[in-house]
Amino acid sequence: MENFIQQLIFALRIGSIYAVIAIGYTMVYGIIKLINFAHGEIMVFGSYFSFLLASSGLNFIWVLLISMGLTAILGMVMEKVAYAPLRKAPRLSALITAIGMSFLLQNIMLLIFKSEPKRMPELISMTPFEVGGVLIDPITIITVGLSVLFMIILQIFIKNTKPGKAMRAVSQDTNVAALMGINVNRIITLTFAIGSALGALGGILYSLMISQIYPTMGIMPGLKAFVAAVLGGIGIMPGAMLGGFIIGAVETFTKAYLSSSWSDGIVFLILVIILLFKPAGLLGKNRKDKV
């Protein structure tokens, strides 16, 4: 039982990281129907920013905020340079651009930081404490807390503010939103900024978890976060959160109770099974094509 609770806490930790990253995928997809493959690399950039800032001796809050800000700027630049010229192009070429962007960012990081893993400095060093036989790492609480906090902020932003409303309008129908006087380009840029900032948050939390950092570390969590977004129904924000926690739980529990080498396989298998029964994801609605 204690072991189970212990695993549950691990699952919450990794799940909240996946959820935060998945939100970036799902927001961008919801707005411009693009699978932003570069999101995993954006996330790694975020953690490299935090690595550099932490090495210069800033405290955790500032490290977090500044690297999220820098990553948001990076995301906006990426959108303006690579994706904006392709607004009207076929969707697949936008997808390939995203893949190219992912290559580019990855290799820039390889050039700057080299491929050897670096030790991530412990931003917060606190000793784990025990509650009823379960060992809890404070960083776990911070991870889950921060993720949930930012998700709530994002929900409030999207539900209650004007730009949030505009964002929802654009994702429903871009053309009509433009006719209603919404500056679509600005909203798309804003979406990329928010998504990238959240990606940075996820990247920092992830690199704190594995306590190291290397340029290609974004591939697997990126892929899994993406799976999480699809699982919940891509384009739907609560879906991404739900999907993230499910993927985190599945991964942790298979690692704990079945086999660690099969855990990724089980994650993908569950995705396949869920898609078979709910083809548009857990929270997605099935839309029929019209002639």
Partner 1 sequence: MKKSNQLVGLGFVIAFIAFVGISGLLFILALAKEPSVTYAYAGIVSCMLLMLVFSLAKKTSKTLKSYLNNAIAILIIIVIVYPLIAHNKSPELFPFLGGVSFKGYTTGIFILICINIVMATSLNFSTGFLGQLVLGHAGFMAIGAYTAALIANILFAAGLPIFFVIVLSLLAGGVLAALSGIIIGIPALRLRGDYLAIMTLAFAEIVRIIINNLNFTGGAQGLTGYASAQIMGLSKETFSLYVFFTMVICVAFLVLLARSRHGRAIISLRENEIAAESVGINSTKYKVTGFAISALVGGIGGGLFAFHMGFLQPSMFGFMKSVDILVMVVLGGMGSMTGSIVAAGVFTWLPELLRDFDEYRMVAYAVLLIVMMIVRPQGLLGVKEMSLSKMVRKIRAKLLKQSDGNLMEGGDE
Q: Which stretches of the chain bind partner 1, using CB under 8 A? A: 29, 35, 82, 85-86, 89-90, 92-97, 99-101, 103-104, 106-108, 110-111, 219, 223, 226-227, 230, 234, 259, 261-262, 264-265, 268-269, 271-272, 275-276, 279-281, 289, 291
Exposure of 39 in the CB half-sphere (CA atoms within 13 A): 36
Shortest distance, CB of residue 291 to partner 1, whole angstroms? 5
Shortest distance, CB of residue 71 to partner 1, whole angstroms? 19
If the CB atoms of residues 130 and 289 are measured against partner 1, the closer one turns out to be 289
If the CB atoms of residues 97 and 207 are measured against partner 1, the closer one turns out to be 97
If the CB atoms of residues 60 and 268 are measured against partner 1, the closer one turns out to be 268
Whole-number Å distance between alpha carbons of 233 and 285:
8
Whole-number Å distance between alpha carbons of 101 and 147:
26
Pairing of strands 134-136, 129-131: antiparallel
If the CB atoms of residues 131 and 291 are measured against partner 1, the closer one turns out to be 291
Shortest distance, CB of residue 203 to partner 1, whole angstroms? 19
- Cα distances (angstroms) measured from residue 254 to each of 22, 147, 261, 265: 21, 23, 9, 10
Whole-number Å distance between alpha carbons of 282 and 239:
7
Shortest distance, CB of residue 24 to partner 1, whole angstroms? 16
Whole-number Å distance between alpha carbons of 93 and 89:
7
Shortest distance, CB of residue 126 to partner 1, whole angstroms? 36
Cβ neighbours of 27 (radius 10 Å): 27
If the CB atoms of residues 52 and 219 are measured against partner 1, the closer one turns out to be 219
- Cβ burial, residue 57 (10 Å; 0-12/13-18/19+): exposed
Shortest distance, CB of residue 103 to partner 1, whole angstroms? 4
If the CB atoms of residues 66 and 95 are measured against partner 1, the closer one turns out to be 95
